[in-house]
């Protein structure tokens, strides 16, 4: 689905979210969160969790949905350990990712722009063997404002040495699409089970898998 076909700037660089787009980690975060809140009688509902995807989540956010007798350190420590434990046995690269990176995306410089902490970005990319494709990595934790603000996308474009308008951004969350749109970049949304019901009006294109985006589209905004 293409929305803006006029005045398309040919792509010079590609910027990717990580969780839920390249790696099936949103499912693991979801499971780790459920494990934390279940002893307090809470259930993590899909609609609530979706609001967290693609942005910084605070302890206040967590406690508002799942009141529990845990400190900030205990919450995030338990989430981190539960997530890492699941990644050790169940980290998966999502379908279409390798095909796209080795195909239409191969000629372009690429960056990660993720709300995840830098140490996790580095660890997950290394574990999944995706690291060589993404020498440029920007964490939302390093920004004054996280997604949906455009700061992280401006930073990624600057690190790539490319003007924002010449970047194409790939995202699985409306927060990320909104930020990239505000940065003046073309956006491709790849919804997941967590975000399939969301409004994608700001995306230039919505696809089921990354490898359905062709080289022609990256240059012209059309599949020739």
Which residue segment(s) compose the domain that 152 sits in?
13-24+92-220
Same domain, 64 and 102: no
In a domain, 189, yes or no: yes
Contacts of 169 (CB under 8 A, 6+ apart): 14, 15, 16, 17, 113, 153, 176, 177, 180, 183, 185, 186, 187, 188
Among 42, 63, 90, the domain-final residue is: 90
- Pick the catalytic residue from 2, 7, 19, 204: 19
d(CA 10, CA 166): 6
Per-residue confidence (pLDDT) for residue 115, from 0 to 100? 92
Same domain, 73 and 174: no
Place of tokens 């020739």: 224
Per-residue confidence (pLDDT) for residue 224, from 0 to 100? 66
Same domain, 99 and 172: yes
Catalytic (active site) residue 90: no
- CA gyration radius, the chain: 17
Per-residue confidence (pLDDT) for residue 46, from 0 to 100? 84
Per-residue confidence (pLDDT) for residue 174, from 0 to 100? 93
Same domain, 47 and 96: no
Per-residue confidence (pLDDT) for residue 118, from 0 to 100? 94
d(CA 26, CA 20): 5
Q: Are 194 and 208 in contact (CB under 8 A)?
A: no
d(CA 190, CA 221): 16
In a domain, 3, yes or no: no
* Residue numbers in the chain where pLDDT is lower than 50: 1-3
- Pick the catalytic residue from 2, 7, 17, 90: 17
Same domain, 109 and 175: yes
Angstrom CA distances, 215 to 113, 160, 210, stand at 21, 20, 12
């Amino acid at each position: 689905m293409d929305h803006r076909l006029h005045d398309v700037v040919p792509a010079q660089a590609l910027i990717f979210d990580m969780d839920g787009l390249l790696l099936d980690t949103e499912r693991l975060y979801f499971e780790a969160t459920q494990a934390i809140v279940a002893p307090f009688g809470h259930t993590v509902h899909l609609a609530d969790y979706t609001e967290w995807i693609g942005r910084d989540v605070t302890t206040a956010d967590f406690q508002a949905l799942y009141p529990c007798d845990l400190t900030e350190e205990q919450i995030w420590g338990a989430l981190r350990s539960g997530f890492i434990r699941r990644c050790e046995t169940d980290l998966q690269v999502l379908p279409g990712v390798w095909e796209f990176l080795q195909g239409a995306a191969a000629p372009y410089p690429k960056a990660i722009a993720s709300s995840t902490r830098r140490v996790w970005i580095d660890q997950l990319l290394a574990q999944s063997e995706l690291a060589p494709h993404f020498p440029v990595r920007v964490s939302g934790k390093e920004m004054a404002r996280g997604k949906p603000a455009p700061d992280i996308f401006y930073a990624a474009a600057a690190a790539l040495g490319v003007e924002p308008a010449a970047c194409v951004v790939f995202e699985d969350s409306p927060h990320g699409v909104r930020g990239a749109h505000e940065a003046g970049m073309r956006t491709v949304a790849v919804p997941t089970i967590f975000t399939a019901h969301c409004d994608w009006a700001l995306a230039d294109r919505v696809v089921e898998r990354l490898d359905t985006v062709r080289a022609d589209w990256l240059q012209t905004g059309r599949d020739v």
